[in-house]
Structure 1
Amino acid sequence: MLDYRKMYFQLAAKVADAMDILLIAQEEGETEFMNGEPFSGLKIITIQDENRDSE
């Protein structure tokens, strides 16, 4: 008979490991972006909400 409890905890541990890897990669990417040179082509645009009532 399979030990489903053991299998579940092994899966949960692997999922937690994967989440840790993804979080570290995100943090490293954000740090690299913040320490990099400014992007000259960056533009900020404003999008108006058409569903918002006029006040």
Structure 2
Amino acid sequence: MTDYKEMYFLLFNKITETILNLQEVQQQAEEMYISQENFLSHIINLSAKE
């Protein structure tokens, strides 16, 4: 007989890990974007002073 409880927990744990990984990658991408925006705005401010 199939052990549905074991299958459910396997699926639930893998889906949870995947969601957490996606959230981590999204946060890293957002931090990269923000740091690039700060860098670009710094360059724009420097060139505006000239």
- TM-score, length-scaled by structure 1: 0.65
Paired residue type of 1:6: E
Alignment match, 2:29: 29
2:23 is aligned with 1:13 = no
The percent identity for this pair of structures is 28
Displacement, 1:10?
0.5
Gaps of 5+ in 2: 42-50
Number of paired residues?
A: 39
Higher helix share: 2
Paired residue type of 2:21: I
- TM-score, length-scaled by structure 2: 0.71
Paired residue type of 1:3: D
**After TM superposition, where is structure 1 displaced by more than 4 Å over at least 4 residues in a row?**
none
CA root-mean-square deviation: 1.4
| CA distance in 1: counterparts of 2:4 and 2:40, whole angstroms | 52
Gaps of 5+ in 1: 40-55
